C-alpha cells in the first residue's frame, strides 16, 4: 500500500496543487496496490480524488471504539463522506480521533504496513501538534521509501506556516 500523510492546515489553493501532483505521482507508480489514508479532510480528500483519477483503489481508515465507528470531529464529517464515496475499502482501527497521541499511533500503524509513504510536508519540524516530520522519520527508520510533496506556491493556514519549500505528516489535530 501507499500511505499518505500530511499537514492538515494547508490552504484550499494548495489542496488543488496537491491533487494534481498526487495524481501524477500515482500515474507514474508502476505498482497496483491501493493507497491508504486516515479519515479526515484536506490531504486525505486530495489523495482520494487523485487515487480515483489515477484508477487506484483507496482504503480509508476510520476510528472505532469497541468496534463501532467513533464520532469524528465536526470539521471532518463532511470530508469523510466524500472519502467513503471514493473508497473501495474501509479499515476499522481502534483509536480516539480526539486524542492527538492516538491519532499519531494510528498513523504509525498505517505507515508501518505500507510499501511507500507519500508525505505532504513543508520541511518544518514536529512541534507537538503536527506530526508529519515524525512520521517521515518513522517510515525511514523502517526502510520505507518516502516521497515528500510540497508544490511551488503551497501554503499553510496555521500560525507557524512557513514559506513554500519542504514537508511534515498529518496528526489528528487539524
| DSSP at 124 | P
Q: What is the arithmetic mean of pLDDT over 90-107?
A: 89
Q: What is the arithmetic mean of pLDDT over 96-110?
A: 90
Highest-pLDDT range among 10-14, 108-112, 153-157, 165-169: 108-112
Q: What is the arithmetic mean of pLDDT over 142-163?
A: 81
Q: Does residue 99 sit in helix, strand or coil?
A: coil
Q: Does residue 32 sit in helix, strand or coil?
A: coil
End-to-end CA distance of the chain: give it in Å, rounded: 24
Confidence at residue 168, expressed as pLDDT on a 0 to 100 scale: 35
Helices 132-141 and 100-112: crossing angle in degrees, nearest 10, is 30
Confidence at residue 174, expressed as pLDDT on a 0 to 100 scale: 29
Based on its alpha-carbon atoms, the radius of gyration of the chain, rounded to whole angstroms, reads 14
**pTM score, whole prediction:** 0.84
* Beta carbons within 8 Å of 152's beta carbon, 6+ residues apart: 164
Rounded Cα distance, 136 and 144, in Å: 9
Confidence at residue 172, expressed as pLDDT on a 0 to 100 scale: 40
Q: Quick check: 162 pLDDT over 60?
A: no
Q: Does residue 54 sit in helix, strand or coil?
A: coil
Confidence at residue 71, expressed as pLDDT on a 0 to 100 scale: 75
Amino acid at each position: 500500500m501507499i500511505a499518505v500523510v500530511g499537514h492538515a492546515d494547508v490552504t484550499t489553493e494548495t489542496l488543488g496543487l496537491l491533487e494534481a501532483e498526487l495524481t501524477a505521482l500515482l500515474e507514474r507508480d508502476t505498482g497496483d496496490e491501493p493507497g491508504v489514508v486516515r479519515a479526515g479532510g484536506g490531504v486525505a480528500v486530495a489523495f482520494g480524488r487523485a487515487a480515483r483519477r489515477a484508477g487506484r483503489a483507496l482504503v480509508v481508515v476510520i476510528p472505532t471504539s469497541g468496534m463501532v465507528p467513533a464520532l469524528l470531529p465536526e470539521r471532518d464529517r463532511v470530508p469523510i463522506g466524500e472519502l467513503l464515496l471514493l473508497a473501495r475499502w474501509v479499515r476499522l482501527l481502534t483509536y480516539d480521533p480526539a486524542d492527538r497521541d492516538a491519532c499519531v499511533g494510528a498513523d504509525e500503524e498505517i505507515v508501518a504496513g505500507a510499501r511507500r509513504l507519500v508525505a505532504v510536508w513543508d520541511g518544518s519540524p514536529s512541534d507537538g501538534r503536527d506530526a508529519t516530520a515524525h512520521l517521515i522519520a518513522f517510515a525511514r527508520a523502517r526502510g520505507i521509501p518516502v516521497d515528500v510533496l510540497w508544490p511551488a506556491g503551497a501554503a499553510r493556514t496555521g500560525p507557524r506556516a512557513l514559506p513554500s519549500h519542504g514537508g511534515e505528516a498529518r496528526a489528528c489535530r487539524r
